[in-house]
Homo-oligomer: A and B are copies of this chain.
């Protein structure tokens, strides 16, 4: 009953095999190989975005911080949810790799930003002069850290607010596959057609070993990115192994099969339970008596604590995450215990 995190899972066999097939012969380094070209083409095709510039890196924090640095000047302000990974879990990476960009936190119940909440936060930062810094970027996480999903209309409503004040939009898609699988929207409809400028597309949590793509939909915004990746140490020499993962992950829709499985496991896990938020993707949040949590853990449950408003002396919240590797047996075992 291990629901610790989706990044506790390993590499899906099909992806592993593809990496093995890539392990043949001598191949040009640093992305000048055929597999890389094919992987870029596959991302473009998946997003119906033949012009997009696509860059692979090995970690989600690397992808986010590089993506943000590309569209936010060092004196820019990035609006994100107060629970966003870039705020809570990256130790200042966006500010570091961008050379100084700062985050402005937008509150909200379930990891999602609403247009009103964004407008309220924008109002805190009037743009009178250079003292104020520059309101530059909106960053939204889909699926959110709380497992909620923005649909195309939700995204479009937010990017409209951003664009209305001259800001660009980044999407942290560490769990983008789960969002696509949950919403049924196409990758294009959920991103560039809804106004997203740059996407961090995460493979690692969803069946890969270590690969994320930074997708810059308007190639005019991609100038200099290759230098950013290099000087942050994120250009792999044996780049074919990044490419092989991404190719196999997208191939035949495997990425959505895996995400769909994870989402279903979460739905099964939560069925009939009083979850803190509706379960849409691959995360389940439960508030339980603290004694109950202790006894579940004693029985083998692995799940993260999740401090949040509503906890009290007797009750606490936990987060259960499913993945491509979660089995129906895990789910059944947990529900039996509960």
Taking Cβ atoms with an 8 Å cutoff, the residues of A that contact B are 2, 4-5, 7-11, 16, 20, 22-30, 57-66, 73-75, 77, 88-93, 95-97, 99-103, 105, 123, 126, 129-134, 204-205, 209-210, 224, 226-238, 241, 302, 307, 325
Beta-carbon contact of A130 and B229 below 8 Å: yes
Q: Given A10-B23, A235-B130, A238-B7, decide whether A96 and B93 contact each other with a Cβ distance below 8 A.
A: no
Shortest beta-carbon contacts, A-B, top 9:
A62-B233, A99-B99, A75-B227, A7-B237, A61-B233, A91-B231, A130-B230, A89-B131, A8-B26
CB pair B227–A73 under 8 Å, yes or no, is yes
Selected contact of A74 from candidates B61, B90, B96, CB within 8 Å: B96
Q: Which of A9, A66, A231 has the most CB of B within 10 A?
A: A231
Contact A224 B75 (CB under 8 A): yes
Q: How far is the CA of A95 from the CA of B95 in the complex (A)?
A: 7
C-alpha spacing A9/B133, complex, angstroms: 25
Is A27 within 8 A of B8, CB to CB?
yes
Cβ contacts under 8 Å, A123 to chain B:
307
Q: Which of B126, B131, B236, B302 contacts A59 (CB 8 A)?
A: B236
27 residue pairs of the A-B complex, CB under 8 angstroms, read: A4-B26, A5-B29, A8-B27, A10-B24, A11-B238, A30-B129, A59-B237, A60-B237, A61-B230, A61-B231, A63-B233, A64-B233, A73-B224, A74-B92, A75-B96, A77-B92, A90-B231, A90-B233, A92-B102, A92-B133, A95-B100, A123-B307, A204-B237, A210-B210, A210-B238, A210-B241, A232-B232
Nearest chain B CB to A110's CB is how many angstroms away?
17
User: In the complex, which residues of chain B have a beta carbon less than 8 angstroms from the beta carbon of A62?
Assistant: 232-234
How far does the Cβ of A174 sit from chain B's closest Cβ, in whole Å? 10
How distant is the Cα of A74 from the Cα of B224 in the complex, in angstroms?
10
Q: Which residues of B contact A224 (CB under 8 A)?
A: 73, 75
Q: Are B24 and A228 in contact (CB under 8 A)?
A: no
With known contacts A210-B241, A237-B204, A230–B10 Cβ distance under 8 A: no
Find out whether the CB atom of B8 lies under 8 angstroms from the CB atom of A231. no
Cβ contact within 8 Å between A97 and B232 = yes
Q: Which of B29, B231, B234 contacts A75 (CB 8 A)?
A: B231
Interface centre among A58, A90, A230 (most CB of B within 10 A): A230
Nearest neighbor of A126 in chain B, beta-carbon distance: B307
Choose from B24, B91, B134 the contact partner of A130 (Cβ within 8 Å): B91
